[in-house]
């Protein structure tokens, strides 16, 4: 069997600028895949392509054996959920109403709001710790609260594949760990999770599969304990670093060498 989500020799561009060329990858089913790399290396662009927000100039993204752009939008939304960067909420919308929008792909003219939708909404609010915010306008929330609400909307969609672009943005360390523990639990329950993360040691702790990118290309893929080395840190981030076992998990942990500057 092939993996449900893959990219076949895709070229991605924004107007005149090519971001990635002839990029191929496969997301292992039921993996917690994390994409890492320096700023502006193409991580978010890749996620936009995988989620059908950006159509490749060449090549194709494949979902369940078919080109994703050939599938109906509602069908894609039932299989694949997305938390993009910097989403914008409609004016005046409450938290509960925003999270409920995650249920739209499951509804139709003949199937309106149901007990299953209500249960999914309640689970998403509970899992993200936003139950006490349900009646508040989204515009009144802090950045961290708002991020958790957007994550709740993605969870309410209840898709087998979940893509998240920098989901820990605006979250303090406690909520970062809580979120990654939640995603790890969903992954253990059978969900395929793909996330772009900047916090490397958290990425290495939770990922079952890692994609390391630089300048629009994939440098390495595989389990963190197989590919995270000082050479990888230097090749991807230009960062001299020690790599040692995390004392709590045994996963790779990176300790950067001090950066030399003119003042040191």
For residue range 225-261, what is the model confidence (pLDDT) as tens digits? 999 999 999 999 999 999 999 999 999 999 999 877 6
Q: C-alpha distances in angstroms, 139 versus 87, 88, 196?
A: 12, 10, 25
Q: C-alpha distances in angstroms, 11 versus 32, 56, 177?
A: 25, 6, 34
Strands (E), 2-145: 5-14, 17-27, 32-36, 58-63, 66-67, 80-83
Per-residue pLDDT for 1 more than 60?
Answer: no
- Percent of the chain at pLDDT exceeding 70: 97
Residue with tokens 């005149």, as numbered in its chain: 16
Query: For 129-133, what is the mean pLDDT?
Result: 95
Indicate the helix (H) or strand (E) that contains 254. strand 252-256
- Please report, for the chain, the start and end positions of each structural domain, with discontinuous segments joined by +: 5-91+162-256
What is the pLDDT at residue 113? 82
Per-residue pLDDT for 34 more than 90?
Answer: yes
What is the pLDDT at residue 163? 97
If you ran DSSP here, which 8-state letter would residue 137 be given?
Answer: B
Query: For 145-173, what is the mean pLDDT?
Result: 94
Beta-bridged to residue 81, according to DSSP, are 162
Query: For 215-227, what is the mean pLDDT?
Result: 97
Measured between alpha carbons, how far is 105 from 142 in angstroms, rounded to an integer?
A: 28
What is the pLDDT at residue 263? 54
Of residues 48 and 113, more confidence is placed in 48
Measured between alpha carbons, how far is 53 from 259 in angstroms, rounded to an integer?
A: 38
Query: For 147-158, what is the mean pLDDT?
Result: 94
Assign 106 a pLDDT band (cuts: 50, 70, 90): confident
Q: Which of the listed CATH numbers 3.40.50.300, 3.50.50.60, 2.40.160.20, 3.20.20.150 matches domain 5-91+162-256?
A: 3.40.50.300
Per-residue pLDDT for 108 more than 80?
Answer: no
What is the pLDDT at residue 261? 62
Q: Hey, what are 91's tokens?
A: 């004016």
Per-residue pLDDT for 145 more than 90?
Answer: yes
Phi, psi of 140 (to 5 degrees): -90, -5
Query: For 65-74, what is the mean pLDDT?
Result: 94
What is the pLDDT at residue 160? 95
Measured between alpha carbons, how far is 163 from 154 in angstroms, rounded to an integer?
A: 9
Beta-bridged to residue 217, according to DSSP, are 214
Assign 109 a pLDDT band (cuts: 50, 70, 90): low
Q: Label residues 50-69 b or e (16+ Cβ within 10 Å = b).
A: bbbebebeebbbbbbeeebe
Residues 228, 210: contact at Cβ < 8 Å? yes
Residues 170, 138: contact at Cβ < 8 Å? no
What integer best gives the mean pLDDT of the chain?
93
Indicate the helix (H) or strand (E) that contains 193. strand 192-196
Residues 239, 228: contact at Cβ < 8 Å? no
Query: For 161-174, what is the mean pLDDT?
Result: 93
pTM: 0.91
């Amino acid at each position: 069997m092939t993996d449900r989500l893959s990219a076949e020799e895709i070229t991605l561009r924004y107007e005149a600028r090519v971001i990635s060329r002839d990029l191929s990858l496969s997301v292992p089913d039921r993996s917690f895949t994390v994409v890492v790399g320096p700023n502006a290396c193409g991580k978010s662009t890749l996620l936009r392509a995988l989620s059908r927000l950006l159509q490749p100039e060449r090549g194709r993204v494949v979902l369940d054996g078919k080109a994703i752009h050939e599938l109906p939008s509602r069908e894609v939304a039932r299989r694949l959920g997305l938390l993009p960067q910097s989403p914008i909420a409609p004016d005046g919308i409450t938290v509960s109403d925003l999270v409920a929008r995650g249920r739209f792909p499951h509804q139709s003219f003949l199937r309106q709001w149901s007990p299953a939708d209500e249960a999914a909404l309640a689970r998403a609010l509970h899992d993200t710790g936003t139950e006490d915010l349900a009646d508040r306008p989204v515009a009144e929330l802090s950045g961290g609260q708002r991020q958790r609400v957007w994550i709740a909307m993605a969870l309410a969609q209840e898709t087998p594949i979940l893509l998240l672009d920098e989901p820990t943005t605006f979250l303090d360390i406690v909520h970062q760990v809580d979120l990654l523990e939640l995603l790890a639990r969903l992954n253990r329950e059978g969900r395929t999770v793909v996330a772009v993360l900047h916090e490397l040691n958290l990425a290495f702790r939770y990922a079952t599969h890692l994609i390391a990118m630089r300048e629009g290309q994939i440098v390495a893929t595989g389990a963190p304990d197989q590919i995270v080395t000082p050479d990888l840190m230097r090749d991807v981030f230009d960062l001299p670093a020690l790599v040692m076992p995390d004392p709590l998990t045994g996963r790779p942990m990176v300790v950067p060498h001090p950066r030399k500057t003119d003042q040191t």
